[in-house]
Structure formats: C-alpha cells, structure tokens
Amino acid sequence: MSAIVESPASVLAGDPLLETDFIREMVRQMRALDSYGQYDGQPATVLLAPLVLTKERKAGIPIIGDPDETTLACIKAFYNAIATLIEKECGLMAVPLVHLTHEGFGRVLITVGKLVVLDRTLRDAHRFGFGSLSKMKDEADKYLAVALEIVGRFPDVAGL
C-alpha cells in the first residue's frame, strides 16, 4: 500500500459506524493486505480514509487513469470483507475473486461452493470509493443481503 492518507473529516474517531461488524472487518482486511506494516499502529480512521471520496477528493482524481496499489488494496479489502461476512452468516466458505486489468477494468465474483452469489463489473477502479462510511456500509449490506438470499434459495449448490 502506498502513502498514508490523512483521515478526512468524514471519517471521525468515535463514529458509531466504526463499531459495526462490516467496518471492523474492513479494518481487519486493510491490515491483512498491508504486507509492509505501513499501517501498523494506525487508527481505523486512517485505514479507512482512502475509501472515503468526498466531492473534493473525487474532483481531484482524473477521469482516465490507472489504479494505484492503495486503491487496489481497498477494492480487495471491500470484497474480502463482504465474503467474510457471508461466510460468518451462512457457515459456508465464501471465496472472492477480484480480477482487474492495469487500466482499472475487471470483475469481482464471490462464490459459495459452486454458487456465484455476487457478480460485479468494475470500471474506472482508480475512482473506487464511497461518499462516506455510511454509504460504504449501506452498499456492503445490500450486497450481503442479496448474497445470503441467493444462498438461502440454493443451499444444495452452495454446499457443493
């Protein structure tokens, strides 16, 4: 992961969202993807800061560009966290697959057994982020609910 991004005003210490299962899992995933220990000892607000793109930060990102290592780590952490929560809820292993070109186009799949429970196309990955922690959590909750509903409808395939 590249340079540490300072915590923006929209990621505040003491925010009740920091205590939710999804946000705690995001922090765990961001730490797990930090192979050089750059974020050791950093608070959750600093770890999650790259994922929060305020209008000002988004305006500063070019329309066309290649994703950097921090952005790629954020994408992986987001979908890994969703897969971990799927696994926690249904008791079956959920496996995320993130495939991106160097230009920032690709696809994310999460499978449970032989069942595809999430299939997302990614475009402009260098602009990956959310307006706030709340919006990120809402998006993740939506994906999680759909995935768990699919597992519930096809438990035989999910158990393979």
113-148 confidence digits (pLDDT tens): 999 999 999 998 999 999 999 999 999 999 999 999
**Phi, psi at residue 78, to the nearest 5°?**
-60, -50
User: Out of 1.20.1630.10, 2.60.40.10, 1.10.3100.20, 3.30.465.10, which CATH number does the structure's domain 16-158 have?
Assistant: 1.10.3100.20
Give the mean model confidence (pLDDT) for residues 92-107: 94
Whole-angstrom Cα distance, residue 26 to residue 45? 11
Whole-angstrom Cα distance, residue 143 to residue 132? 17
Region of residue 70 (left: phi > 0; alpha: psi -120 to 50; beta: else): alpha
